Copies of this chain bind each other. A is one copy, B any other.
């Protein structure tokens, strides 16, 4: 099952002001998030692999968020958001438009808190994705497969239920939660020269950049992005948020578009976006699966590919790579 979050333009409703101030997103916020979520999530292991180091010409440290609860890092942000709500805010549950990893994560976090999670998914989502969300207790409402319908249906669901919107990345609490993966990685391997994560809506990359640059100002923070969905690359180049193109990538979790919050953080703190072809994604997946024996989803391979294929000028360096998740349909692999 590929469970990453999808693009959405949905804004919070007026009675639920989110914290949009990037200034509040500090290392302290990430540390506070970590204290809040640590009892509920896994402290995921860091893998190394001599044969991949040889291929990369560098020393690679893989933070294994594919081994995280619900199979991706998304549980970090969702749990921080859900457990940051007051009882008053939480009493009618939470809601999000997502057909991916955020949907599963929010459902699980809500279950832990004992509140409902309302997930809006496009009608054409795969049965596998729907049953994954239901397995974590999420209640699905279907929309038409376009952004306008998803927004409208989500607004209806929130109006009907009173649920609190937890956006997959346009939310400082979610971003702070996502930053805890980098925090743990740097606690374990403090002297990293480079850190790479996948780039999409920018939640993971923003949280990672804040944690990494605060703890280690000399570190280079790099986003890996599919060439077929290069809107983060184009946005940082043009200086304004560019929409994702209509092209296809197998890394279907990486088709979201930046929001002003994540865009402002990335502009300030990210050094480079490295573009990865579909063929490189497949090759990186094969290398990761074969050498580390880990099931890594295409989005995770997008973060590893710039290091494996020596695209980021980091020869001999120590590179931290966040393997974002391990959810994908094993019966429809891009190899085999």
Contact = CB atoms under 8 A, between A and B. Distances in A.
A336 interface: yes
A296 B66 CA distance: 15
Nearest to A293: B326
A332 B51 CA distance: 22
Contact of A289 (B45, B330, B332, B335): B330
Q: Is the interface of A mostly helix, strand, loop or mixed?
A: loop
A293 B67 contact: yes
A336 B330 contact: yes
Nearest to A128: B290
Interface in A283-309: 286, 289-290, 293-296
A8 B290 CA distance: 27
Contacts of A331: 286, 335-336
Nearest to A64: B293
A335 B328 CA distance: 14
Contacts of A1: 290
Contacts of A51: 135
Interface in A305-328: 326
A207 interface: no
A148 interface: no
Given A51-B135, A293-B296, 11 more contacts: A1-B290, A45-B45, A66-B293, A67-B293, A289-B330, A290-B295, A290-B330, A294-B294, A330-B336, A331-B336, A333-B336
The list of the 9 closest CB pairs from A to B, nearest first, reads: A293-B326, A293-B295, A336-B336, A333-B336, A66-B293, A331-B336, A289-B295, A331-B335, A67-B293
